[in-house]
A = this chain, B = another copy of it.
Amino acid sequence: MSNIALKIGVAVSKEKALAAVNTLQGLAGWWTWDVSGDPGEGGTLAFRFHGQGPDMKVLSTTDHSVHWQCIAGPEEWLDTEIKFTIKDEGETAIYFQHLNWKDESGFYALCSMKWATFMLSMKQYLEHGSGHPFPDDIQINTL
C-alpha cells in the first residue's frame, strides 16, 4: 500500500483551518463548489466535478482531524482513506494524507500533484477568503 502525504502551514487559527475540512462551506471554498451531504461523523459527502467524483463516508471527526473513506468514485480510490490533521507547530499546520493506494500508478502521481494544488487552494482560501476550487482549479496538464 502507498500513501500520499502533504503538509502546509497557514496563518489562521486551528479552529478556522478545521472548518475548511469539516463544513460544506469550507470544502466548497477550496476543493469543489459541487459538494453536498453530511460532513458529520457517520455522514456521507458527495464531491462532484462535471457530474463525476467520489463519495466519502465520514469515519470520524475530532477537534483536530477529519477521516473519510472513499465508498464510490474512481476505481483506484475505492476503499482508500483520506485524513486531514491540524496541528499547532508554532504555525497552524495542516497535514493531508490519502492512504492505502494499491499502486504507485500514473494516476497516483497525477492525484498527488493535483492534491498539492488543492492544498495551495486551501491555504489561499483560509488566508485570503477565496481559493481555487473546481471549476477554477489550478491546471496541471494540457489535455
Q: Which positions in A face B, CB cutoff 8 Å?
A: 2-11, 90-91, 93, 95-97, 104, 106, 108-110, 112-113, 116-117, 119-120, 123, 138, 140-143
Contacts and interface: CB of A to CB of B under 8 A. Distances in A.
Contact of A91 (B7, B116, B138, B143): B143
B3 A104 contact: yes
Contact of A2 (B3, B10, B141): B3
A112 B109 contact: no
A81 B97 CA distance: 22
- One complex includes copies of this chain to the number of 2
Nearest to A4: B112
A109 B6 contact: yes
B109 A7 contact: yes
Given A4-B112, A117-B116, A117-B120, A143 B9 contact: yes
Nearest to A5: B109
A67 B7 CA distance: 26
Given A2-B3, A109-B7, A120 B95 contact: no
A43 B8 CA distance: 34
Contacts of A96: 109
Given A109-B95, A116-B117, A140-B123, A104 B5 contact: yes
A112 B142 contact: no
Given A113-B116, A117-B120, A90 B143 contact: yes
